Amino acid sequence: FKEWRGCINSTDNPLNLTFKGYRSRLFIKAIYEKDYSRMYLSISVLIAALAATSIILARRKMSS
C-alpha cells in the first residue's frame, strides 16, 4: 500500500473517516505499488551462495 487519493489524500493505513454533513459524491482510491526489494534480496543471497559454493568446490578440486 502506498497512499489514499481522492477526497482524502493520506498515507495512513488504516484510515479512519468521520462523515459530517451531506456529500453527494465521495471518491477515495487506494494506490498500491510493487515492492521488489525482497525479490532482489533473495536473488542476491542466492547468487552469493552459488558463488561461495563454486569457490569451495573449485578449491577442493585443485587440492585433490
Spell out the per-residue pLDDT of the chain, length 64, in tens.
899 999 889 999 998 888 787 877 888 999 999 999 999 999 999 999 999 999 999 999 988 7
Q: Are residues 17 and 41 in the same domain?
A: no
> What is the pLDDT, as a whole number, of residue 29?
94
Cell of 44: 542476491
Q: Are residues 42 and 64 in the same domain?
A: yes
Range of the domain at 20: 1-33
d(CA 22, CA 9): 19
Q: Are residues 40 and 64 in the same domain?
A: yes
Counting the structural domains of the chain, the total is 2
> What is the pLDDT, as a whole number, of residue 23?
72
Amino acid making up residue 25: R
Largest interatomic CA distance in the chain: 83
Residues 6/28, Cβ–Cβ less than 8 Å? yes
pTM over 0.75: no
> What is the pLDDT, as a whole number, of residue 38?
94
Q: Are residues 43 and 29 in the same domain?
A: no
d(CA 52, CA 23): 63
